[in-house]
Structure 1
Protein backbone atom coordinates (compact mmCIF):
# COMPACT_ATOMS: atom_id res chain seq x y z
CA UNK A 1 0.00 0.00 0.00
CA UNK A 2 1.40 3.38 -0.96
CA UNK A 3 1.37 6.41 1.29
CA UNK A 4 0.98 6.54 5.03
CA UNK A 5 -0.14 3.27 6.61
CA UNK A 6 -3.57 3.46 8.17
CA UNK A 7 -5.30 1.36 10.77
CA UNK A 8 -8.81 -0.04 10.56
CA UNK A 9 -11.31 -1.54 12.96
CA UNK A 10 -13.41 -4.68 12.52
CA UNK A 11 -16.27 -5.63 14.84
CA UNK A 12 -17.79 -9.10 14.54
CA UNK A 13 -21.49 -8.64 15.29
CA UNK A 14 -22.65 -12.21 14.70
CA UNK A 15 -22.63 -15.06 17.17
CA UNK A 16 -25.47 -16.95 18.78
CA UNK A 17 -25.51 -15.07 22.13
CA UNK A 18 -26.97 -18.26 23.61
CA UNK A 19 -25.91 -17.55 27.20
CA UNK A 20 -27.16 -13.96 27.02
CA UNK A 21 -30.53 -15.10 25.70
CA UNK A 22 -30.80 -12.18 23.28
CA UNK A 23 -28.69 -10.45 20.66
CA UNK A 24 -25.71 -8.73 22.27
CA UNK A 25 -25.63 -6.16 19.47
CA UNK A 26 -28.88 -4.54 20.64
CA UNK A 27 -28.23 -4.68 24.40
CA UNK A 28 -28.83 -1.31 26.02
CA UNK A 29 -25.81 0.52 27.41
CA UNK A 30 -27.27 3.59 29.10
CA UNK A 31 -29.29 4.54 26.04
CA UNK A 32 -26.79 3.33 23.43
CA UNK A 33 -26.87 -0.11 21.75
CA UNK A 34 -23.85 -2.12 22.83
CA UNK A 35 -22.69 -2.68 19.25
CA UNK A 36 -22.81 1.07 18.55
CA UNK A 37 -20.76 1.73 21.68
CA UNK A 38 -18.07 -0.83 20.83
CA UNK A 39 -17.86 0.35 17.21
CA UNK A 40 -17.45 3.94 18.40
CA UNK A 41 -14.72 2.95 20.88
CA UNK A 42 -12.87 1.08 18.14
CA UNK A 43 -13.27 4.12 15.91
CA UNK A 44 -11.55 6.28 18.50
CA UNK A 45 -8.54 3.95 18.38
CA UNK A 46 -7.98 3.78 14.61
CA UNK A 47 -7.43 6.36 11.90
CA UNK A 48 -9.12 4.48 9.06
CA UNK A 49 -12.42 2.73 8.40
CA UNK A 50 -14.50 0.81 10.94
CA UNK A 51 -16.41 -2.20 9.61
CA UNK A 52 -19.12 -4.24 11.32
CA UNK A 53 -19.53 -7.80 10.02
CA UNK A 54 -23.06 -9.06 10.52
CA UNK A 55 -24.49 -12.56 10.21
CA UNK A 56 -26.90 -13.46 7.40
CA UNK A 57 -30.23 -11.73 8.02
CA UNK A 58 -29.02 -10.11 11.25
CA UNK A 59 -30.82 -6.90 12.18
CA UNK A 60 -28.51 -4.25 13.59
CA UNK A 61 -29.25 -1.24 15.79
CA UNK A 62 -28.35 2.28 14.58
CA UNK A 63 -24.58 2.71 14.31
CA UNK A 64 -22.22 5.71 14.22
CA UNK A 65 -22.17 7.46 10.85
CA UNK A 66 -18.61 6.43 9.96
CA UNK A 67 -19.25 2.72 10.50
CA UNK A 68 -19.64 0.48 7.45
CA UNK A 69 -21.61 -2.77 7.47
CA UNK A 70 -20.60 -5.83 5.47
CA UNK A 71 -22.52 -9.10 5.29
CA UNK A 72 -21.34 -12.58 6.16
CA UNK A 73 -22.96 -14.62 3.37
CA UNK A 74 -22.73 -17.98 5.14
CA UNK A 75 -23.93 -18.70 8.67
CA UNK A 76 -22.14 -20.90 11.16
CA UNK A 77 -18.54 -20.62 9.99
CA UNK A 78 -17.31 -19.12 13.23
CA UNK A 79 -15.24 -16.04 14.07
CA UNK A 80 -12.59 -16.65 11.40
CA UNK A 81 -15.24 -16.03 8.74
CA UNK A 82 -15.87 -12.57 10.21
CA UNK A 83 -12.13 -11.94 10.34
CA UNK A 84 -11.76 -12.91 6.68
CA UNK A 85 -14.65 -10.73 5.52
CA UNK A 86 -13.56 -7.77 7.62
CA UNK A 87 -9.93 -7.91 6.50
CA UNK A 88 -10.99 -8.13 2.85
CA UNK A 89 -13.29 -5.12 3.29
CA UNK A 90 -10.48 -2.84 4.52
CA UNK A 91 -7.41 -4.33 2.82
CA UNK A 92 -7.16 -1.57 0.20
CA UNK A 93 -7.42 1.18 2.84
CA UNK A 94 -5.36 -0.02 5.79
CA UNK A 95 -2.27 -2.09 6.48
CA UNK A 96 -3.40 -3.36 9.87
CA UNK A 97 -6.74 -3.87 11.59
CA UNK A 98 -7.92 -4.28 15.15
CA UNK A 99 -10.50 -7.07 15.35
CA UNK A 100 -12.96 -7.44 18.19
CA UNK A 101 -16.40 -8.75 19.09
CA UNK A 102 -19.52 -6.96 20.31
CA UNK A 103 -19.23 -7.93 23.96
CA UNK A 104 -16.41 -5.69 25.27
CA UNK A 105 -18.25 -2.66 26.69
CA UNK A 106 -15.19 -1.32 28.55
CA UNK A 107 -12.84 -1.50 25.56
CA UNK A 108 -10.50 1.48 25.74
CA UNK A 109 -9.20 3.23 22.60
CA UNK A 110 -5.75 3.19 24.22
CA UNK A 111 -5.88 -0.62 24.25
CA UNK A 112 -6.77 -0.64 20.55
CA UNK A 113 -3.86 1.66 19.77
CA UNK A 114 -1.42 -0.29 21.95
CA UNK A 115 -2.14 -3.62 20.25
CA UNK A 116 -1.86 -2.04 16.80
CA UNK A 117 1.38 -0.36 17.88
CA UNK A 118 2.83 -3.72 18.89
CA UNK A 119 2.01 -5.10 15.45
CA UNK A 120 3.61 -2.09 13.78
CA UNK A 121 6.79 -2.44 15.80
CA UNK A 122 6.92 -6.18 15.16
CA UNK A 123 6.36 -5.61 11.45
CA UNK A 124 9.36 -3.29 11.41
CA UNK A 125 11.41 -6.32 12.42
CA UNK A 126 9.69 -8.51 9.82
CA UNK A 127 8.42 -11.06 12.27
CA UNK A 128 4.68 -10.69 12.87
CA UNK A 129 1.39 -11.06 11.03
CA UNK A 130 -0.84 -11.05 14.11
CA UNK A 131 -0.61 -9.71 17.66
CA UNK A 132 -2.74 -11.81 20.02
CA UNK A 133 -2.58 -10.60 23.64
CA UNK A 134 -2.18 -13.35 26.22
CA UNK A 135 -3.90 -12.04 29.34
CA UNK A 136 -4.48 -14.02 32.54
CA UNK A 137 -3.21 -17.04 30.65
CA UNK A 138 -5.81 -16.78 27.89
CA UNK A 139 -5.31 -15.72 24.26
CA UNK A 140 -7.51 -12.88 23.00
CA UNK A 141 -8.03 -13.51 19.25
CA UNK A 142 -11.02 -11.15 19.18
CA UNK A 143 -9.17 -8.28 20.82
CA UNK A 144 -6.17 -8.55 18.53
CA UNK A 145 -4.41 -6.91 15.59
CA UNK A 146 -4.08 -8.51 12.15
CA UNK A 147 -2.27 -7.53 8.98
CA UNK A 148 -4.90 -6.96 6.30
CA UNK A 149 -2.72 -8.80 3.78
CA UNK A 150 -3.82 -12.00 5.55
CA UNK A 151 -7.30 -11.71 4.00
CA UNK A 152 -6.71 -14.21 1.13
CA UNK A 153 -5.13 -16.78 3.45
CA UNK A 154 -7.91 -16.54 6.04
CA UNK A 155 -10.55 -16.75 3.30
CA UNK A 156 -8.89 -19.85 1.89
CA UNK A 157 -8.63 -21.52 5.29
CA UNK A 158 -12.28 -20.85 6.12
CA UNK A 159 -13.31 -22.20 2.72
CA UNK A 160 -11.38 -25.35 3.54
CA UNK A 161 -13.23 -25.90 6.79
CA UNK A 162 -10.95 -24.17 9.29
CA UNK A 163 -13.01 -22.50 12.02
CA UNK A 164 -10.69 -21.85 14.96
CA UNK A 165 -8.26 -18.90 15.22
CA UNK A 166 -5.46 -21.15 16.59
CA UNK A 167 -5.49 -23.02 13.28
CA UNK A 168 -4.73 -19.74 11.51
CA UNK A 169 -2.07 -18.81 14.05
CA UNK A 170 -0.27 -22.10 13.37
CA UNK A 171 0.41 -20.89 9.82
CA UNK A 172 1.45 -17.27 10.41
CA UNK A 173 3.87 -15.27 12.53
CA UNK A 174 2.26 -14.42 15.86
CA UNK A 175 3.37 -12.19 18.74
CA UNK A 176 1.68 -12.88 22.09
CA UNK A 177 2.23 -9.95 24.46
CA UNK A 178 1.42 -10.49 28.13
CA UNK A 179 0.05 -7.97 30.63
CA UNK A 180 3.46 -6.50 31.39
CA UNK A 181 4.13 -5.85 27.70
CA UNK A 182 0.71 -4.33 27.12
CA UNK A 183 0.69 -2.09 30.17
CA UNK A 184 3.12 0.64 29.24
CA UNK A 185 2.59 4.33 28.62
CA UNK A 186 -0.96 5.60 28.30
CA UNK A 187 -2.65 2.22 28.63
CA UNK A 188 -1.03 1.60 32.02
CA UNK A 189 -2.49 4.87 33.25
CA UNK A 190 -6.02 4.68 31.86
CA UNK A 191 -6.73 0.92 31.99
CA UNK A 192 -4.32 -0.66 34.49
CA UNK A 193 -6.64 -3.62 35.18
CA UNK A 194 -7.18 -4.25 31.44
CA UNK A 195 -10.93 -3.90 31.81
CA UNK A 196 -10.86 -3.57 28.02
CA UNK A 197 -10.96 -7.37 27.95
CA UNK A 198 -13.90 -7.78 30.32
CA UNK A 199 -16.54 -9.40 28.13
CA UNK A 200 -20.21 -9.92 28.92
CA UNK A 201 -21.71 -13.30 28.04
CA UNK A 202 -24.60 -13.58 30.51
CA UNK A 203 -27.26 -11.25 31.97
CA UNK A 204 -25.47 -11.36 35.33
CA UNK A 205 -22.15 -10.33 33.76
CA UNK A 206 -23.87 -7.48 31.95
CA UNK A 207 -25.59 -6.33 35.14
CA UNK A 208 -22.28 -6.32 37.01
CA UNK A 209 -20.63 -4.11 34.40
CA UNK A 210 -23.63 -1.79 34.19
CA UNK A 211 -23.43 -1.33 37.96
CA UNK A 212 -19.97 0.18 37.72
CA UNK A 213 -19.77 3.95 38.21
CA UNK A 214 -19.38 6.22 35.22
CA UNK A 215 -15.77 7.13 34.42
CA UNK A 216 -14.23 10.25 35.93
CA UNK A 217 -13.69 12.73 33.10
CA UNK A 218 -11.36 15.72 33.38
CA UNK A 219 -12.79 19.14 32.53
CA UNK A 220 -10.27 21.82 31.60
CA UNK A 221 -10.02 24.44 34.37
CA UNK A 222 -12.91 22.99 36.33
CA UNK A 223 -13.98 20.09 38.52
CA UNK A 224 -14.29 16.70 36.78
CA UNK A 225 -17.57 15.03 35.91
CA UNK A 226 -18.64 11.40 35.89
CA UNK A 227 -20.21 10.61 32.53
CA UNK A 228 -20.41 7.78 30.01
CA UNK A 229 -21.09 9.83 26.89
CA UNK A 230 -20.40 13.34 25.66
CA UNK A 231 -24.13 14.05 25.78
CA UNK A 232 -24.32 13.05 29.44
CA UNK A 233 -21.32 15.24 30.24
CA UNK A 234 -22.86 18.16 28.34
CA UNK A 235 -26.03 17.95 30.43
CA UNK A 236 -24.01 17.98 33.65
CA UNK A 237 -21.83 20.88 32.53
CA UNK A 238 -24.81 22.90 31.27
CA UNK A 239 -26.02 22.98 34.86
CA UNK A 240 -22.62 24.37 35.85
CA UNK A 241 -21.95 26.80 32.99
CA UNK A 242 -25.43 27.57 31.68
CA UNK A 243 -27.36 26.46 28.58
CA UNK A 244 -24.98 28.33 26.24
CA UNK A 245 -22.14 25.97 27.16
CA UNK A 246 -20.75 23.94 24.28
CA UNK A 247 -18.83 20.87 25.39
CA UNK A 248 -16.31 19.11 23.16
CA UNK A 249 -13.97 16.19 23.53
CA UNK A 250 -10.74 18.09 23.05
CA UNK A 251 -8.03 16.90 20.73
CA UNK A 252 -6.50 17.43 17.31
CA UNK A 253 -10.08 17.59 16.00
CA UNK A 254 -12.72 18.57 18.52
CA UNK A 255 -15.51 16.00 18.82
CA UNK A 256 -19.06 17.20 19.48
CA UNK A 257 -21.23 14.13 18.74
CA UNK A 258 -23.29 13.61 21.94
CA UNK A 259 -23.28 9.82 21.48
CA UNK A 260 -19.46 9.68 21.66
CA UNK A 261 -18.45 7.30 24.47
CA UNK A 262 -16.18 8.73 27.14
CA UNK A 263 -13.38 6.79 28.78
CA UNK A 264 -10.87 7.35 31.59
CA UNK A 265 -8.22 9.84 30.52
CA UNK A 266 -10.53 11.97 28.37
CA UNK A 267 -10.40 15.75 28.68
CA UNK A 268 -13.39 17.96 27.89
CA UNK A 269 -13.30 21.58 26.83
CA UNK A 270 -16.18 23.90 27.74
CA UNK A 271 -16.89 26.85 25.48
CA UNK A 272 -19.49 29.41 26.43
CA UNK A 273 -20.81 32.52 24.72
CA UNK A 274 -19.82 35.59 26.71
CA UNK A 275 -21.31 39.06 26.36
CA UNK A 276 -23.77 40.63 23.94
CA UNK A 277 -21.33 40.44 21.05
CA UNK A 278 -21.49 36.66 21.21
CA UNK A 279 -17.75 36.26 21.60
CA UNK A 280 -16.89 32.62 22.25
CA UNK A 281 -14.73 32.06 25.28
CA UNK A 282 -13.78 28.92 27.09
CA UNK A 283 -11.08 26.44 27.93
CA UNK A 284 -9.28 23.85 25.88
CA UNK A 285 -6.95 20.96 26.50
CA UNK A 286 -5.37 18.09 24.65
CA UNK A 287 -7.15 14.77 24.68
CA UNK A 288 -5.05 12.44 26.82
CA UNK A 289 -6.11 9.12 25.40
Structure 2
Protein backbone atom coordinates (compact mmCIF):
# COMPACT_ATOMS: atom_id res chain seq x y z
CA UNK A 1 0.00 0.00 0.00
CA UNK A 2 1.37 3.40 -0.92
CA UNK A 3 1.69 6.20 1.56
CA UNK A 4 -1.25 8.61 1.46
CA UNK A 5 0.17 12.03 0.60
CA UNK A 6 -2.47 13.83 2.63
CA UNK A 7 -3.13 11.21 5.29
CA UNK A 8 -2.13 11.80 8.89
CA UNK A 9 -1.73 9.02 11.44
CA UNK A 10 -1.53 9.03 15.20
CA UNK A 11 1.16 7.54 17.45
CA UNK A 12 0.53 7.37 21.21
CA UNK A 13 3.38 6.35 23.50
CA UNK A 14 1.94 4.33 26.38
CA UNK A 15 5.07 4.64 28.50
CA UNK A 16 6.03 2.34 31.35
CA UNK A 17 6.02 2.74 35.10
CA UNK A 18 6.80 6.26 36.22
CA UNK A 19 9.16 6.54 39.17
CA UNK A 20 7.37 9.63 40.46
CA UNK A 21 3.87 8.28 39.88
CA UNK A 22 4.63 4.78 41.18
CA UNK A 23 2.35 3.25 38.54
CA UNK A 24 2.00 3.29 34.75
CA UNK A 25 0.30 6.49 33.68
CA UNK A 26 -1.57 4.68 30.92
CA UNK A 27 -3.86 2.93 33.40
CA UNK A 28 -4.72 5.94 35.56
CA UNK A 29 -8.46 6.44 35.89
CA UNK A 30 -9.97 9.25 33.86
CA UNK A 31 -13.69 9.70 34.49
CA UNK A 32 -14.45 6.00 34.27
CA UNK A 33 -11.98 5.42 31.47
CA UNK A 34 -8.16 5.59 31.49
CA UNK A 35 -5.67 8.21 30.40
CA UNK A 36 -4.49 5.94 27.59
CA UNK A 37 -8.01 5.31 26.32
CA UNK A 38 -8.75 9.01 26.46
CA UNK A 39 -5.63 10.01 24.54
CA UNK A 40 -5.85 7.25 21.93
CA UNK A 41 -9.56 7.84 21.29
CA UNK A 42 -9.09 11.60 21.03
CA UNK A 43 -6.27 11.23 18.51
CA UNK A 44 -8.32 8.66 16.58
CA UNK A 45 -11.33 10.98 16.31
CA UNK A 46 -9.07 13.75 14.99
CA UNK A 47 -6.71 12.22 12.40
CA UNK A 48 -7.80 10.59 9.16
CA UNK A 49 -5.28 7.76 9.23
CA UNK A 50 -4.35 4.80 11.44
CA UNK A 51 -3.58 5.16 15.14
CA UNK A 52 -1.11 2.97 16.99
CA UNK A 53 -0.18 2.72 20.65
CA UNK A 54 3.45 1.92 21.40
CA UNK A 55 3.98 -0.09 24.56
CA UNK A 56 7.08 -1.34 26.34
CA UNK A 57 8.03 -4.99 25.71
CA UNK A 58 5.57 -7.18 27.57
CA UNK A 59 3.65 -4.20 28.93
CA UNK A 60 0.04 -4.99 29.81
CA UNK A 61 -2.07 -2.19 28.48
CA UNK A 62 -5.58 -1.21 29.58
CA UNK A 63 -8.51 -1.46 27.20
CA UNK A 64 -8.14 0.47 23.96
CA UNK A 65 -10.71 1.90 21.55
CA UNK A 66 -11.78 -0.32 18.68
CA UNK A 67 -9.44 -0.20 15.71
CA UNK A 68 -6.37 0.96 17.63
CA UNK A 69 -3.30 -1.20 16.93
CA UNK A 70 -0.56 -1.96 19.46
CA UNK A 71 3.13 -1.92 18.57
CA UNK A 72 5.85 -3.17 20.91
CA UNK A 73 8.85 -0.98 21.57
CA UNK A 74 11.63 -3.44 20.62
CA UNK A 75 13.95 -2.60 23.53
CA UNK A 76 12.90 -1.39 26.95
CA UNK A 77 14.54 1.53 28.69
CA UNK A 78 15.79 3.54 25.71
CA UNK A 79 13.37 6.40 26.20
CA UNK A 80 10.76 7.91 23.88
CA UNK A 81 12.93 8.14 20.76
CA UNK A 82 12.82 4.40 20.14
CA UNK A 83 9.09 4.33 20.78
CA UNK A 84 8.59 7.15 18.28
CA UNK A 85 10.58 5.23 15.66
CA UNK A 86 8.53 2.08 16.24
CA UNK A 87 5.26 3.97 15.94
CA UNK A 88 6.26 5.88 12.81
CA UNK A 89 7.50 2.70 11.13
CA UNK A 90 4.20 0.97 11.90
CA UNK A 91 2.14 3.57 10.01
CA UNK A 92 4.62 4.68 7.33
CA UNK A 93 3.00 2.60 4.57
CA UNK A 94 -0.38 4.27 5.18
CA UNK A 95 0.36 7.86 6.15
CA UNK A 96 2.89 10.53 5.28
CA UNK A 97 2.69 12.34 8.60
CA UNK A 98 1.77 11.52 12.19
CA UNK A 99 0.87 13.33 15.35
CA UNK A 100 3.00 11.78 18.10
CA UNK A 101 2.15 12.22 21.75
CA UNK A 102 2.56 10.73 25.20
CA UNK A 103 -0.39 9.20 27.01
CA UNK A 104 -0.43 11.69 29.89
CA UNK A 105 -2.01 14.70 28.19
CA UNK A 106 -5.45 14.87 29.83
CA UNK A 107 -6.36 18.21 28.25
CA UNK A 108 -5.20 17.50 24.70
CA UNK A 109 -7.70 19.10 22.31
CA UNK A 110 -8.34 18.20 18.66
CA UNK A 111 -7.75 21.84 17.74
CA UNK A 112 -4.13 21.48 18.88
CA UNK A 113 -3.62 18.26 16.90
CA UNK A 114 -5.08 19.85 13.78
CA UNK A 115 -2.98 23.01 14.19
CA UNK A 116 0.21 20.97 14.37
CA UNK A 117 -0.66 18.73 11.44
CA UNK A 118 -1.67 21.65 9.21
CA UNK A 119 1.86 22.99 9.59
CA UNK A 120 3.18 19.70 8.20
CA UNK A 121 1.83 20.50 4.73
CA UNK A 122 5.01 22.31 3.68
CA UNK A 123 7.03 19.62 1.84
CA UNK A 124 10.36 20.80 3.25
CA UNK A 125 9.22 20.33 6.87
CA UNK A 126 10.18 17.04 8.53
CA UNK A 127 8.86 17.87 11.98
CA UNK A 128 6.55 20.45 13.56
CA UNK A 129 7.71 21.13 17.10
CA UNK A 130 5.45 23.18 19.36
CA UNK A 131 7.36 25.36 21.80
CA UNK A 132 4.47 25.91 24.16
CA UNK A 133 4.27 27.25 27.70
CA UNK A 134 8.03 27.81 27.64
CA UNK A 135 9.14 24.30 26.64
CA UNK A 136 9.78 22.29 23.51
CA UNK A 137 7.09 19.62 23.15
CA UNK A 138 8.48 16.66 21.14
CA UNK A 139 5.80 14.40 22.66
CA UNK A 140 2.99 16.54 21.28
CA UNK A 141 4.40 17.14 17.82
CA UNK A 142 4.11 16.32 14.14
CA UNK A 143 6.56 13.99 12.39
CA UNK A 144 7.13 12.75 8.85
CA UNK A 145 6.74 8.99 9.04
CA UNK A 146 9.90 8.69 6.93
CA UNK A 147 11.87 9.83 9.99
CA UNK A 148 11.55 6.33 11.44
CA UNK A 149 14.80 5.20 9.83
CA UNK A 150 16.79 8.25 10.92
CA UNK A 151 15.55 7.97 14.50
CA UNK A 152 16.41 4.27 14.59
CA UNK A 153 19.91 5.10 13.36
CA UNK A 154 20.38 7.80 15.99
CA UNK A 155 19.21 5.48 18.77
CA UNK A 156 21.64 2.79 17.60
CA UNK A 157 24.44 5.37 17.81
CA UNK A 158 23.46 6.25 21.37
CA UNK A 159 21.68 9.52 20.59
CA UNK A 160 18.60 8.96 22.74
CA UNK A 161 17.49 12.55 23.29
CA UNK A 162 14.86 14.09 20.98
CA UNK A 163 17.09 17.16 20.75
CA UNK A 164 19.59 15.16 18.71
CA UNK A 165 16.96 14.55 16.05
CA UNK A 166 16.44 18.28 15.56
CA UNK A 167 20.02 18.60 14.31
CA UNK A 168 19.44 16.11 11.49
CA UNK A 169 16.13 17.20 9.97
CA UNK A 170 14.13 20.28 9.03
CA UNK A 171 12.16 21.38 12.09
CA UNK A 172 9.44 24.03 12.11
CA UNK A 173 8.91 25.43 15.59
CA UNK A 174 5.58 26.94 16.59
CA UNK A 175 5.61 29.25 19.59
CA UNK A 176 2.61 30.27 21.68
CA UNK A 177 1.71 33.17 19.42
CA UNK A 178 1.85 31.05 16.27
CA UNK A 179 -0.20 28.27 17.85
CA UNK A 180 -2.85 30.72 19.03
CA UNK A 181 -3.07 32.42 15.65
CA UNK A 182 -5.46 29.59 14.88
CA UNK A 183 -9.01 30.67 15.76
CA UNK A 184 -10.03 27.22 17.04
CA UNK A 185 -7.03 27.19 19.36
CA UNK A 186 -7.88 30.65 20.67
CA UNK A 187 -11.44 29.56 21.35
CA UNK A 188 -10.92 26.09 22.81
CA UNK A 189 -7.37 26.00 24.17
CA UNK A 190 -6.28 29.59 24.84
CA UNK A 191 -3.93 28.54 27.67
CA UNK A 192 -2.31 25.79 25.58
CA UNK A 193 -3.31 23.17 28.13
CA UNK A 194 -3.05 20.51 25.43
CA UNK A 195 0.62 20.14 26.40
CA UNK A 196 0.07 19.92 30.17
CA UNK A 197 1.23 16.50 31.31
CA UNK A 198 1.09 14.50 34.53
CA UNK A 199 4.32 13.72 36.33
CA UNK A 200 3.38 13.38 40.00
CA UNK A 201 0.42 12.19 42.09
CA UNK A 202 -0.26 15.84 42.85
CA UNK A 203 -0.43 16.65 39.13
CA UNK A 204 -2.88 13.79 38.64
CA UNK A 205 -5.10 14.76 41.56
CA UNK A 206 -5.25 18.37 40.40
CA UNK A 207 -6.06 17.43 36.81
CA UNK A 208 -8.62 14.80 37.76
CA UNK A 209 -10.35 17.21 40.14
CA UNK A 210 -11.05 19.81 37.47
CA UNK A 211 -14.55 20.23 36.11
CA UNK A 212 -15.06 18.46 32.75
CA UNK A 213 -15.44 20.37 29.52
CA UNK A 214 -18.66 22.17 28.69
CA UNK A 215 -20.45 20.58 25.75
CA UNK A 216 -23.82 20.90 24.02
CA UNK A 217 -26.31 18.04 24.18
CA UNK A 218 -29.59 17.59 22.35
CA UNK A 219 -32.04 14.70 22.24
CA UNK A 220 -34.19 13.86 19.22
CA UNK A 221 -37.27 11.82 18.49
CA UNK A 222 -38.70 9.76 21.32
CA UNK A 223 -35.71 10.69 23.48
CA UNK A 224 -36.77 14.35 23.50
CA UNK A 225 -39.60 13.65 25.94
CA UNK A 226 -39.40 13.98 29.69
CA UNK A 227 -38.07 17.52 29.66
CA UNK A 228 -35.17 16.77 27.30
CA UNK A 229 -36.38 18.90 24.39
CA UNK A 230 -33.98 21.51 23.08
CA UNK A 231 -30.23 21.95 23.26
CA UNK A 232 -28.57 22.37 26.63
CA UNK A 233 -25.05 22.88 27.92
CA UNK A 234 -23.65 20.38 30.40
CA UNK A 235 -20.22 19.34 31.63
CA UNK A 236 -19.04 15.86 30.67
CA UNK A 237 -15.67 14.18 30.10
CA UNK A 238 -17.06 11.16 28.23
CA UNK A 239 -20.06 10.18 26.17
CA UNK A 240 -21.43 8.14 29.10
CA UNK A 241 -21.27 11.20 31.34
CA UNK A 242 -23.09 13.23 28.69
CA UNK A 243 -25.84 10.62 28.47
CA UNK A 244 -26.19 10.49 32.24
CA UNK A 245 -26.37 14.27 32.31
CA UNK A 246 -29.66 14.14 30.39
CA UNK A 247 -30.98 11.04 32.11
CA UNK A 248 -30.11 8.51 29.41
CA UNK A 249 -28.11 5.28 29.27
CA UNK A 250 -26.07 4.27 26.24
CA UNK A 251 -27.62 0.92 25.39
CA UNK A 252 -28.85 -0.78 22.23
CA UNK A 253 -31.77 1.62 22.08
CA UNK A 254 -29.67 4.80 22.04
CA UNK A 255 -26.91 6.04 19.75
CA UNK A 256 -25.03 9.31 19.68
CA UNK A 257 -23.85 11.56 16.88
CA UNK A 258 -20.72 13.51 17.77
CA UNK A 259 -20.43 16.88 16.04
CA UNK A 260 -22.96 15.80 13.45
CA UNK A 261 -20.99 13.00 11.87
CA UNK A 262 -19.46 10.33 14.10
CA UNK A 263 -22.11 7.80 15.12
CA UNK A 264 -21.13 5.85 18.22
CA UNK A 265 -22.19 4.06 21.38
CA UNK A 266 -18.70 4.21 22.93
CA UNK A 267 -19.36 5.48 26.42
CA UNK A 268 -15.64 6.08 26.98
CA UNK A 269 -15.34 8.37 23.97
CA UNK A 270 -13.65 11.55 25.27
CA UNK A 271 -15.44 14.85 24.94
CA UNK A 272 -13.82 18.28 24.77
CA UNK A 273 -14.93 21.88 24.84
CA UNK A 274 -16.89 22.78 21.73
CA UNK A 275 -18.30 19.28 21.19
CA UNK A 276 -21.93 18.81 20.30
CA UNK A 277 -23.66 15.49 21.04
CA UNK A 278 -27.01 14.46 19.61
CA UNK A 279 -28.72 11.43 21.16
CA UNK A 280 -31.06 9.49 18.90
CA UNK A 281 -33.27 6.46 19.26
CA UNK A 282 -31.66 3.49 17.52
CA UNK A 283 -35.09 1.83 17.36
CA UNK A 284 -36.25 4.66 15.10
CA UNK A 285 -33.35 4.16 12.71
CA UNK A 286 -31.17 6.84 14.36
Q: Identify whether the pair has TM-score above 0.5, normalized to the shorter chain.
A: yes
* Cα displacement string for residues 133-152 of structure 1 (whole angstroms, at most 9, x for unaligned residues): 01122100000000001111
Among residues 198, 201, 213, which one is paired with 1:200 in the alignment? Answer: 198
How far apart are residue 251 of structure 1 and its match? 2.8
Q: Distance in 1 between matches of 2:183 and 2:140?
A: 19
Does residue 101 (structure 1) correspond to residue 102 (structure 2)? The answer is yes
Question: Which runs of no fewer than 5 residues in structure 1 stay unpaired?
Answer: 282-289
Among residues 245, 268, 274, which one is paired with 1:259 in the alignment? Answer: 268
Does residue 268 (structure 1) correspond to residue 266 (structure 2)? The answer is no
Does residue 33 (structure 1) correspond to residue 34 (structure 2)? The answer is yes
SS of match in other structure, 2:247: helix
What is the match of residue 141 of structure 1? 138
What is the match of residue 50 of structure 1? 51
Asked if 1 retains the 8 angstrom alpha-carbon contact of 2:44 and 2:51, the reply is yes
What is the match of residue 238 of structure 1? 247
RMSD: 2.0
Q: Distance in 1 between matches of 2:285 and 2:3?
A: 42
How far apart are residue 255 of structure 1 and its match? 3.2
Q: How many residues align?
A: 271
Asked if 1 retains the 8 angstrom alpha-carbon contact of 2:5 and 2:95, the reply is no
Question: Which runs of no fewer than 5 residues in structure 2 stay unpaired?
Answer: 219-229
Does residue 173 (structure 1) correspond to residue 170 (structure 2)? The answer is yes
How far apart are residue 272 of structure 1 and its match? 4.5
Asked if 1 retains the 8 angstrom alpha-carbon contact of 2:216 and 2:275, the reply is yes
Asked if 2 retains the 8 angstrom alpha-carbon contact of 1:230 and 1:248, the reply is no
What is the match of residue 129 of structure 1? 126
Among residues 208, 214, 217, which one is paired with 1:216 in the alignment? Answer: 214
How far apart are residue 5 of structure 1 and its match? 1.9
How far apart are residue 280 of structure 1 and its match? 6.3
How far apart are residue 270 of structure 1 and its match? 2.9
Bigger CA drift: 90-99 or 264-273? 264-273
Give the TM-score normalised by structure 2: 0.89
